[in-house]
Structure 1
Amino acid sequence: MHARIKHLDGMRGLAILLVIGYHAYVRWEALLPYSHITKHIPVFSFGWLGVELFFMISGFVIFMTLDKSDSYLSFLRKRWLRLFPAMLIASLLLYLAGGLFPEWTDIAPHAKNLLPGLIFINPETLSQISGTEFKSLAGSFWSLYVEALFYVIIGAVYFTLGRRYCLPALLVAMLLLSASSVLKSLGHPGFIDVISKFGFIHYSWFMMGCLVYERMHNRDKLFHYALVVLGMLINFSYYVKNAGAITLLPLLLVMVFFIASFYSKWLERILSVRFLTAMGFASYAFYLLHENLMIGSLIKINRYITNEWVMLLMPIVVATALYYIAFLISQYAEPALRNRLKSWGMPATKAGTGV
């Protein structure tokens, strides 16, 4: 299984590069004028699919963690120890650095906005529950809220109903979201507004990862395929409705790419190259930090460098610097904090099996 994990590390590296490309060259066109040159280049314009790659990887590794956990609480502790240290470090860095980028008013830091990331609950839900407005310190945190709730749900099902009900439970969450318009018309708008923020629409990608893992261990059943196909149809219909039929091809490509990587030695070798696995090693911290610090820096640089062609190279420079910060966090600060938390009674967990 070691080769599999190595190529998944490379896939994490590819995923973070896709996301960074999307944010640097497409997402913030209004703030970074040079992106009008790059926004229609597919590798950039569909770079958001890197997040779906992360979700499939998480779906694949989740049964590994569940199978090695003695209880639901043990499983949640392992997942918390995987996610929390880097999130705490990144959140504090983003909070402290926020004031360095007055040019980008969206990232003005407030202490209360540390909370959503540190407890992995999306700020919209926190705002609805508390009556106080919360925002994420970084927009990219949204996928961690989706990821954390996925862990809570699949762990609860695995340790109560059993493994065979995990995929059906994920599909039920998707169907609940699909039925939201009907439920809303019956007079439960608040309930549906909360559900709509949970990110259930993305669960089909976790399901795909789970299915591939079960397939690799000869535990796949015909009904598993039916569940995942239905989940994917729901997800694809969401993207077609919001972004048009043009999204179908890249959605299918990223799904096929993930599956093929387990059967193609050629793909496995490419994904196992040192550059991608090195990116994958630091991908979680890199993901948490990159958007605010990269876009803030690029806006600042763009005030002094007005040549668009020179500016096109600046994301590479800035992202390289941020990678080394993420590497130092992943190599030193995150393990040190994780070990400190373990010494407070937390059970051991293995790094490198998560987003």
Structure 2
Amino acid sequence: MQPRITHLDGMRGLAILMVIAYHAYARWPELLPFVATTQHNPLFSFGWIGVQLFFMISGFVIFMTLDKSQGYIIFLQKRWLRLFPAMLIASVLLFLAGGFFPEWSLMTPYVKNLLPGLIFLNPETLSQLTGVEFRSMAGSFWSLYVEALFYLIIGAIYFTLGRKYCLPALIVPMLALSASSVLKSLGHPLLIDVISKFGFIHYAWFMVGCLVYERLHGRDKLFHYGLVVLALLINFSYYVKNSGVISLAPLLCVMLFFIASFYSKQIERFLSIRFFTAIGFVSYALYLIHENLMIALLIKMQRYIKSEAVMLLMPVLVAGGLYIVAWLITRYAEPALRQRLKGKRQAVPAAKTGLLPPE
């Protein structure tokens, strides 16, 4: 069995802190007036790159899981058992909480909106397929839809064509997406709308993680680097188009930081401190619940708290409370539900589940 890489747990912790900071202090200025004073601070405004960090971690650890799986179905079962229990618990929690926060429309207390998260399919595609309008229980679920499809694809390639075809196969949907404008001009707009919602544009980050893992194990090839560079160029063009050239700076920084963490003892020690690993332990559950509950609570609080200085501190306190909720989910509820789903009744130690689990 391969040893657990401690600094990846800490990296998960850092990643979720970045995402929380972005949502609390930059994402919603129209809902939270105090955000007007913080939204342009790079420390907060670029916090969205925490998701790219999660994707790279996932790409890195995926071969560990594939190597320890006896087949495609077993691999998918492992992935499902890692992701589904916390998703079910978080979805039900958000559903039950929705009625207490009528101030924010994104809290959606409708049973049908449980479905996208529970089957890991984005609501836009589900709406197109069924003709029924669906919404996610939380906006942050979008990256789990990308994760789930990534697992389906890379597992299928690994167990049919072999490991050496995994990286080449991941570039294929990215190239298809980059050619979507041509396909659309040929009269297939619905097809392109469906393809664009699958999140293939983000596969560049999984590929970076995969390549680092392969390099550390002496399996990297020159053409792998060419594939990853091409994938990154496609991805960067997407961000430049939507966010401007300035978005390339944080993307490059987070990529270099991820790579350097495997070669720098200083970065490894920094990420391995208890503060980061403790947050990394609950990162998956915290990621699922934080945005909706945090923003909804802050909207409600500002009706009673008129001091901007006090409101600036409230996200820290709310995030601390949500950490406790996420810890209870990760330590007790999630392992118990997982064992039920496995059909086992005996007590087992709680798994240290992160957003992008290592097994």
Which residue number in structure 1 is paired with residue 227 of structure 2? 227
Aligned to 2:254: 254
Q: Secondary structure at the match of 1:27?
A: coil
**1:352 correspondence with 2:353:** yes
Q: Distance in 2 between matches of 1:322 and 1:354?
A: 15
- Residue 336 of structure 1 is matched in structure 2 by 336
Does structure 1 retain, via aligned residues, the 8 Å contact 2:12–2:355?
A: no
Task: Give TM-score, length-normalised by structure 2.
Answer: 0.96
- Which amino acid counterpart does residue 353 of structure 2 have in structure 1? G
Deviations 1:228-263 (A, max 9, x none): 011011111110111011111111000000000000
| CA distance in structure 1 between the partners assigned to 2:159 and 2:3 by the alignment | 27
Partner of 1:19: 19
Within 2, Cα distance between the matches of 1:305 and 1:350?
Answer: 39
CA-atom RMSD, angstroms?
1.5
Residues 307-352 of structure 1 deviation map (CA, whole Å, 9 limit, x = unaligned) = 111100000000000000000100110011111111179xx99753
* 2:331–2:351 CA contact under 8 A, matched in 1: no
Distance 2:212 2:154 in 1: 16
Aligned to 1:30: 30
Give yes or no for contact 2:106–2:138 (8 Å, CA) kept in 1. Answer: no
Q: Give the TM-score of the pair, scaled to structure 1.
A: 0.97
Give distance in 1, aligned partners of 2:27 and 2:355.
25
Equivalent residue letter for 2:154:
I
% identical equivalent positions: 73
- 1:353: Cα distance to partner? 6.5
For residue 289 of structure 1, what is the aligned residue in structure 2? 289
In 2, are the aligned partners of 1:18 and 1:50 still within 8 Å (CA)?
yes
Give the match for residue 215 of structure 1.
Answer: 215
Moved more, 264-273 or 186-195: 186-195
Name the amino acid aligned to 2:224.
Answer: H
Displaced runs of 4 or more, over 6 A: none
- Unmatched segments (≥5 aa) in structure 2: none
| Amino acid paired to 1:7 | H
Matched, 1:205 2:205: yes
How big is the shift at 1:185?
Answer: 0.6
Deviation of 1:78 after TM superposition, in Å, equals 0.3
Query: How far does residue 2 in structure 1 lie from its aligned partner after superposition?
Result: 3.6
Aligned twin of 2:164 = 164
Contact 1:82 1:354 in 2 (8 A): no
Cα separation, 1, equivalents of 2:277 and 2:171: 32
CA contact (8 A) 1:19 1:47 kept: yes
What count of residue pairs does the alignment treat as equivalent? Answer: 352
Secondary structure of 1:106's aligned partner = coil
- Cα shift at 1:139: 0.3
The residue identity in structure 1 corresponding to 2:27 is R
Cα distance between partner residues in 2 of 1:188 and 1:241: 22
Q: Distance in 2 between matches of 1:319 and 1:350?
A: 22
Distance 1:48 1:306 in 2: 28
Structure 1 stretches lacking a partner, 5+ long = none
Determine the structure 2 residue equivalent to 1:269: 269
Distance 1:354 1:297 in 2: 23
Letter in 2 for 1:214: E
Distance 2:105 2:137 in 1: 12
Whole-angstrom distance in 1 between the partners of 2:302 and 2:164 = 53
